[in-house]
Amino acid sequence: MYRETDIIQTIPGTDEMVINVGPQHPSTHGVLHLVLTINGEIVKKVEPHIGYIHRSIEKMCESLTYRQFIYSTSRMDYLAAHTNNHACAMCVEQGMGIEVPLRAQYIRVLMDELTRIASHCLWWGSIAMDCGAVTPFFLAFREREMINTIMEETCGARLTMNYNVPGGVMADIHPTFQQSVKDFVRHFRSKIDEYDELVTGNIIFQSRLKGVGKLSKEDAISYGCTGPTARASGVSCDVRKHFPYEIYNQIDFKEITHTAGDSYARYLMRLAEMRESMNIIEQLIDNIPEGDYLAKTKAVLKLPKGEFYSRVETPRGELGVYIVSEGGTTPYRIKFRSPGFSNLSALDHMTRGHKIGDLVAIMGTLDLVIPDIDR
Amino acid sequence: MFSLEDITQSVHNWLYETMHPTLALMVEFAIIGVLVIALFAFLGLVLVMMERKVSSWMQLRLGPNRIGPWGWFQTVADTVKLIVKEGMTPNNVDRLLFNLAPILVIIVSMVIMAPIMFAKGFQIWDINIGVLFVSAVSSLSIIGILMAGWASNNKYSLLGAMRSGAQIVSYELSAGLSMLTIVVLTGSLKMSDIIQAQETGWWLFKGHIPAIIAFVIFIIAATAETNRAPFDLAEAESELTAGFHTEYSGMKFALFFLAEYVNIFVVCAIGATLFLGGWMPFHVGNWEQFNHIMDYIPTSIWFFGKTFFLIFVIMWFRWTFPRLRIDQLLNLEWKYLLPISIFNILLVTVIALAGWHF
Amino acid sequence: MNLKQYFADIFNGVKSLATGMKVTGGYFLRHHKEKITEQYPDNRDTLVLAERFRGEVVMLHDENNEHACTGCTACELACPNGTIKIITKFDISPEGKKKKAVDTFIYHLELCTMCNLCVEACPTGAISMANTFEHSVFDRSTLTKQLNKPGSKIRAGVE
């Protein structure tokens, strides 16, 4: 019997119905709102609606000085606050022509890589949880907790570190920093094999991800995907390799790429990145040079009139910071090019024709952080 | 020695001596009803607690530890909360079906209790088609789930219910066929006969390879039939929020929740009865001394021990594996479990006819 | 799909599942030493926080109830959220000179994001970050604090 109040209605003339995933939904990891058009289990169309957590950080930054605005970017991609701050600090340094001391560069890179591992740890737990396995989430948090403790010791906060300032870092590393990082790397090397045993090798997990959500190299480029999402499709786009910042050009590390472009490739991509990050950390941790951790800067920073752009490789891809300066103490305009936004735009293309369960897995492998998309 | 059989027998005799047989039967019905509901409450409390402890221990957590010693009264508190909570009926749902669905589900799981033998001579109804009865009645719970999913007037619920329908209908087959393996070996559908046949050894060990294959298939199918992870597509919390019971709250939700746990208990009890000898103690060939010691353990302990072991295995699955996708779920059944079950039942028929089993 | 492949698939699948179960089963058996939960309100006495942990801004007073704040408002300017408000007064020094000094150092904890910029900006090291982190209260107005203690004055020699 048809009633006006029936929610379960198909789109007239088709067998398709519209279903809202989010803004409150366990698998969107935040307040992303997807409007799905489905035919039974098959996803026909995905329409992301964003803006639920828009805080206009870019506009806010226009009223903050060049020292102050950095802190607010911690709230964008909160899983990689350090890399966000890093990009902003770098952009200001570029504009001012500040030379960052070598010690500060080492510390920044170390922190970036630790952040990358921490972010990927959380991602690993959440992709497993999206696929229905809950235990990996807790295992991942054990490792993440160790990194957070290291961060807390040195930076003073666990999530929104605000450790980068124009000219270097806010404080010198804690005396126990090197030892605890080495302990962590040793611990994590053994645990990441356990990750493989529990999740990577699992036949159910593999069949959930393999061949699902294919993104070809051309599509990845045309959607502007960056980071592990694009590299899994064979696009070599690691900012650390192509536009080396800080001391990345002196470090021996591989840019990992896969060619399959499916969810499993993106999964393997991130696991391999964690291992590569550990290699980078091991190269640097014993060789931190002595010296200043902060360059001498003026009390009031004024960028010269002009436009400045800097980019870093965050765990999710390329984060660009674009500052237009009119020569004052505050930026005239700031634009953040966040990786999540571009990666999300490929979701519709990747998901069409797959099942609802695949949508969740694909979203998981894209590693979306909603505040990063909305800013 | 303490024996549940003696107690029930004396109660039975006393009732029939003191009153009219019809009245005595009515009183027995009432006693059984109360006992089943008490068992439900007990299972709900114990199994939820066990699930939470097992999961927490696998996940480096402590689990519930605030209420009572080691948190053992947590589930009691939860139950009280669920009872006093408002049983909300959303607007525009199909009220009759919406309210009927949880009751139907719980009644089905109550009815399957009938042929289960909890200890030696302690059984509600030793029906001569016991295995068939279980297999038939357990299929009914899908009606309750479909009803809940449809009546909720919610797309997530509908998707969950439809998934559940496809799933349970498929997995009924291999569950039935693996039960049939033991029926072929025993030659009877009656629970007491099946247990009696395992006096010299459990079918899992006596029945050669076919019994082991059937056991594995049964455990997989049982997990699927009870909608547990990795087959929890009907709930699929990361995909469908809560699947068919999205719109339920309070005691109506609790009934679904309880039915899930009771269903686990029931399928594990059937598994223990068919493959692990029910209440039969563990005997090894002619080790007289050993067998004698084993006999001293009450039969109810044996039964519940085996059942809870199987429940633990199913919980172990849940906290280890990711969820399957709906097409993979059906693939697993139709491409792997069902052909193997059919082949297995042919094999076991040959073995039974040739008398190769012990 | 040939038959050999079919059974190889089953075997590998079951093996991978068993590997996963070995991991969780191992944690189940070793749970008493693997668990990482900290029972927070219970372990309050033994809780060790990193010394640099940023909990709230405090003003350092010595035993004579003297602080190092000159009332220069560098922190107020550095703060991105308007958390700090300094009300200054003019002290009359013994020589009869007027000298700017802090009257009330108002700190809005409810606005603070613990970014540490005020501490960095302070030229005299008068304020620092404390380790306290249990800030929840029932009345929001109690979060607005006066950091300089009543009757405190600036330490001699701090300019």
Token readout for B288 is 């007289």
Tell me the residues of chain B between 55 and 74 that have a Cβ less than 8 Å away from chain C.
56-62, 65
CB-CB neighbors (< 8 A) of B320 in chain C: 17, 20-21, 23-24
Q: Find the range with the poorest average confidence among A227-241, B283-297, C15-29.
A: B283-297
pLDDT for the residue numbered A3 = 61
Whether C111 contacts chain A with CB within 8 A? no
Interface test with B, best of A35, A138, A139, A187 (most B CBs within 10 A): A138
pLDDT in tens, A178-203: 888 888 999 888 888 888 888 888 88
Interface test with C, best of B61, B62, B320 (most C CBs within 10 A): B320
Query: Does the pLDDT at position B3 exceed 80?
Result: no
Q: Find the range with the poorest average confidence among B280-284, C21-25, C104-108.
A: B280-284
| Residue A5: band (very low, low, confident or very high) from pLDDT cuts 50, 70, 90 | low
Identify the bridge partners of residue C84 per DSSP, sorted by sequence position: C107
pLDDT average, residue stretch A150-172: 86
Q: Contact partners of A by the rule of 3+ C-beta pairs under 8 A?
A: B, C
Contact (CB<8Å) A139/B236: no
> What residues of chain C have any CB closer than 8 angstroms to a CB in chain B?
10, 17, 20-21, 23-25, 27-28, 31, 34-37, 39
For the question of an ipTM over 0.95, the answer is no
Tell me the residues of chain B between 19 and 38 that have a Cβ less than 8 Å away from chain C.
none
Q: Contact partners of C by the rule of 3+ C-beta pairs under 8 A?
A: A, B
pLDDT in tens, A45-64: 888 888 888 888 888 888 88
C102 φ/ψ angles, rounded to the nearest 5 degrees: -80, 135
Nearest of B195, B181, B178, B177 to residue B272 by alpha carbon: B195
Three-state DSSP class for residue B40: helix
| Residue B2: band (very low, low, confident or very high) from pLDDT cuts 50, 70, 90 | low
Q: Closest Cα of chain C to B323: distance in Å?
A: 13
User: In chain C, which residue's Cα lies nearest the Cα of B318?
Assistant: C21
Structural Rg of chain A based on CA atoms: 21
pLDDT average, residue stretch C100-122: 86
User: Which long-range CB contacts under 8 A does A248-255 form with residues at least 24 apart?
Assistant: A248/A109, A251/A109, A251/A280, A251/A283, A251/A284, A252/A283, A253/A279, A253/A280, A253/A283, A255/A231
Is the sign of the CA dihedral A111, A116, A120, A123 positive or negative? positive
Q: Which of A162, A174, A202 sits opposite C116 (nearest CB)?
A: A162
CB-CB neighbors (< 8 A) of C31 in chain A: none
Q: Which of A3, A8, A357 sits opposite B326 (nearest CB)?
A: A357
Of B286 and B142, the one with more pLDDT: B142
pLDDT in tens, B37-83: 888 888 888 888 888 888 888 888 888 888 888 888 888 888 888 88
User: In chain C, which residue's Cα lies nearest the Cα of A158?
Assistant: C53
Task: Give percent of chain A with pLDDT exceeding 90.
Answer: 1
Contact (CB<8Å) C37/B316: no
AA identity, residue B43:
L
Whether C8 contacts chain A with CB within 8 A? no
The per-residue DSSP string of B291-309 comes to HHHHHHS-HHHHHHHHHHH
Nearest of B204, B311, A124, B324 to residue C17 by alpha carbon: B324
Q: Which of A157, A170, A194 sits opposite C23 (nearest CB)?
A: A194
Query: Does the pLDDT at position A374 exceed 70?
Result: yes
User: In chain B, which residue's Cα lies nearest the Cα of C14?
Assistant: B216
User: In chain C, which residue's Cα lies nearest the Cα of A85?
Assistant: C115
Angle at A200 between CA A195 and CA A203, to 5 degrees: 135
Contact (CB<8Å) B60/C10: no
CB-CB neighbors (< 8 A) of B59 in chain C: 27
Query: Does the pLDDT at position B357 exceed 70?
Result: no
Query: Does the pLDDT at position A127 exceed 80?
Result: yes
Predicted structure pTM score: 0.87
Of C40 and A13, the one with more pLDDT: C40
Query: Does the pLDDT at position A244 exceed 60?
Result: yes
Q: Which of C23, C24, C117 sits opposite A67 (nearest CB)?
A: C117
pLDDT in tens, C27-69: 888 877 877 888 888 888 888 888 888 888 888 888 888 888 8
Q: Closest Cα of chain A to B272: distance in Å?
A: 27
Whether C21 contacts chain A with CB within 8 A? no
Interface test with B, best of C9, C10, C11, C31 (most B CBs within 10 A): C31
- Average pLDDT of every residue of chain A: 86
Contact (CB<8Å) A25/B241: yes
Query: Does the pLDDT at position B173 exceed 60?
Result: yes
C103 φ/ψ angles, rounded to the nearest 5 degrees: -100, -55
Question: How many CB atoms are located within 10 Å of the residue B101 CB?
Answer: 28
pLDDT average, residue stretch C130-138: 87
CATH number of C56-154: 3.30.70.3270
Contact (CB<8Å) B58/C37: no
pLDDT average, residue stretch A107-114: 89
User: In chain A, which residue's Cα lies nearest the Cα of B158?
Assistant: A8
Of A108 and B290, the one with more pLDDT: A108
Whether A131 contacts chain B with CB within 8 A? yes
pLDDT in tens, B96-122: 888 888 888 888 888 888 888 887 777
| Residue C1: band (very low, low, confident or very high) from pLDDT cuts 50, 70, 90 | low
d(CA B184, CA B171): 20
Angle at A336 between CA A331 and CA A337, to 5 degrees: 150
pLDDT for the residue numbered B1 = 52
pLDDT for the residue numbered B154 = 83
d(CA A330, CA A300): 10
Q: Is A125 exposed, middle or buried (0-12, 13-18, 19+ CB in 10 A)?
A: buried
Q: State the angle between helix axes of B130-138 and B155-186 in degrees (0 to 180), rounded to the nearest 10.
A: 170
Enumerate the domain spans of chain C: 3-36, 56-154
Token readout for C159 is 């300019």
Question: How many CB atoms are located within 10 Å of the residue B23 CB?
Answer: 12
pLDDT for the residue numbered B207 = 63
Q: Which of C24, C53, C80 sits opposite A71 (nearest CB)?
A: C80
A355 φ/ψ angles, rounded to the nearest 5 degrees: -90, 170
Structural class in CATH, domain A55-374: mainly alpha
pLDDT for the residue numbered A4 = 64
pLDDT average, residue stretch A287-309: 85
Between A and B, how many residue pairs show a Cβ–Cβ distance under 8 A? 98
Query: Does the pLDDT at position A36 exceed 70?
Result: yes
Q: Contact partners of B by the rule of 3+ C-beta pairs under 8 A?
A: A, C
| Residue A2: band (very low, low, confident or very high) from pLDDT cuts 50, 70, 90 | low
Asked if B178 and B221 count as a contact pair (C-beta separation under 8 A), the reply is yes
Question: How many CB atoms are located within 10 Å of the residue A326 CB?
Answer: 12
pLDDT for the residue numbered B135 = 85
pLDDT average, residue stretch B166-179: 86
